[in-house]
Structure 1
Amino acid sequence: MTRSGGFLDTIKYVIREALLTGSPRYYMAFLGLLLVAAYGIYLWIFVQHAPIFLGKDEGGLILTNLSDTVPWGIYISFFVFWVGVAAAGIMFGIAAYVFGDKEFKKVAVLGEVQAVAAIITVLTLIMVDVGRPFRALILLPQLPNLKSMLDWDFIVLTTYLALNLIGVLVTVHYYRQDKPLPKKFIVPFIIIAAPFAIGIHTVTAFISQALTARPIWNSPLLAPRYVATAFASGPAILLIALYLAERYIDGFKVDFSVYKKTLYVIVGSLIVGLYFTFSEIHEIFWYTTESMKKAQAEVLFFGYHVPYLAILVWLWIGLGIAAVILGILPRVHNTKRGILLVSAITVIAVVAEKTMTIIIPGYIPGSLGEIRPYYPTPLEIGITIGVHALGILVYLLLARPALKAVITHYYKGGSVHH
């Protein structure tokens, strides 16, 4: 059935499908995520800001294990990971509209939904890390300061968020009316969005890469490594989301070729990411003459002072290699379950590689040689879980109307449309 209306009607459609029409299982997931997100917000506002809201003498970032020595912790660690997930959201769009793959066209909008959810997670983590949000307002009158990497990061993140929100709304607008996306939208969208997808993670790497007192970050491989592993974890999360959508949304089906072709991207990206890791190991332990860089690498790879970092980095290497080996086995890559197994392993591996193992070694030992190990407190962990629940909730709310519109256009409301 063809529906008409402007973009205001499309926004009403998104709200209706996201909030007012759903199964009991959908609302249980919605309520569960909402409660976890609300608890995380409560921890951040009322516990971390206790002097303001509860009248206590102790509160603020002092309740975390962050300090002058280690100013970035679990919040910024997962900020790095989710920027990568957002960047990889454009992959389905490139496969669909640059290479003209018909099956990817049916699911490209989910990549845009994932990018929106990931960027909202990223921006929330930044706000949490700043401590008091009003501090961020101090930066706004200075925008754009093109000499500041922080300003560049703010510009590329917010622009990429706006681009993907537009992409989701335009796609839903046309698909719910059973109309194809017009080329006058697709061409400029891909031309603008693809460079921004690479740019958001590149600029993120440049922020730490430019800090001269952190020699383990002063590597030209840091930004390419960020991008490479992002194109492993982002598509892996997309495949898991597609599988859940197939299972719980009536009438939505994904051709197996989407899973298989995406797996090739995941495996190739893992190989490149592992190669960059081994290249850095070779340079650090064979050639470097920087004592601080070697000391920070020993913290990372051998767990000096912070044992969990070594566990995480070797988990990345071990699971990364395992995912590559499994991904090239015919028994695995010719079955949906096998591909989902590789995807799950990949997500765990890249979380291990792109969170604490990137941020913390740069601060231990500190630039003055002092050693202050960092372990996230239960408060930090609780707030981080709450932020993740918020991001997943946004994913859930946007994915439902987007995929319903896809069903209307490609499957005629439930029956497969060839």
Structure 2
Amino acid sequence: MTEERDEASHSSSSNFRERIRDIKWASLVKMSKQWLRNPLNMALFLWILVVAVSGAILFMVMTGMLNAVLPKKSQRDVWFEVNNQILNALFTLMCLYQHPKRFYHLVLLCRWKQEEDDAKALEKVYCEKGARKPNERFHMMVVVLLLHLNCFAQYALCGLNLGFRRSERPPVGVGICVSFAIAAPAAAGLYTILSPLGKEYGDEENPVDSKVSLERRYSFASRDDESDLEWRGGVLDIWEDIKVSYLSLLCTFCVFGWNMERIGFGNMYVHIATFVLFCLAPFFIFNLAAINIDNEVVREGLGYMGIVLCVFGLLYGGFWRIQMRKRFKLPGYSFCCGRPAVADCTLWLFCCWCSLAQEVRTANAYEIVEDKLCKRREEEVIKVDEDGVVDPSCLPEKMNTTMASSSSISLSRPSGDEALSPPSPPFIHREAT
């Protein structure tokens, strides 16, 4: 028996070593670097790192593994409360950042207009491969309600941690809140996988936007070469449109959300609420968490941490500037190590109002036709001389070709009693004399 056990353990260890050797570490490192280049993934990685460190310290304090380092009970209580409040603040901030989008999804599910983009937006988030599923509204409603339960349980736990000291905190209430805060997202994930939302059906088809709106299909815009697209003015050219500059300064959050919605990056109110929470919530959460900590240095440290996180909340605008530049193929700045993404984030950190004004001016200068920026038709002025004759050199190429073909057709017709209708060039703009 012992020899068989030894052989089994030896074979399992050898198989484990072979599997480790089969891992392509170079490709894994390359994928990790590529993943970290996304600013959102980088922020998520830092959040996970801080949660892991604070959670490990809290676990070691609770299990007595640090009794040799922290011999006094008062010291252990301070370390417990500090890490407990840090974890509470981080999880509360994560729920606050996610809750505006979850409320928006709940609104879409309540009104549920299948013929519009509501169902398609939800299918991209909750359905496998973004395809339509049977009874998808009911299943998505279950998932969204479970995610809301997760947020509200975390808010209740945050209230208990901020409103009571450790000795006065009700353990039953803390246990119930922690249980629901952990179980709700886990149940939502399992339900998404096991329900029809996570299954593939042979006869399903990916939703195709076959009904393109007339406004987008026949918009008065001419498609430019994508290489000709550029930002409207420099970052510091605030005098180019002083009205936009003042609005960007005085109503930053509202202007940002409005601009994101009109260029196709989501709901305006979701962007406004999320941006406000990114820039204000850390200050209040960390300063409230510091109230129940007796150490003065730690209290000040938590307060400064909240201020720093509020400043870095401006990176939310930098993230969406990156998305705007990539989607519409706008030129990037290379003053930060030659990396446009880093330059976009730097612009929002050190000159957020100027950067927002430039984005709004750029969106004003173009029209969006099928998710591409195109020059507005009213900017293409066709010059007409004093006799009302159009100068062909000022016509766009397509319009000039159309006029030439129309003229040749009219000249080839035989003269007679038939009434001939002269060609009328479209979109003629007479200059004001």
- What TM-score, normalized to structure 1? 0.31
Name the structure, 1 or 2, with higher relative contact order (CA <8 Å, separation 6+).
Answer: 1
Which protein has the larger Cα radius of gyration, Structure 1 or Structure 2? 2
Compare the two structures and name the one with the higher helix fraction. Answer: 1
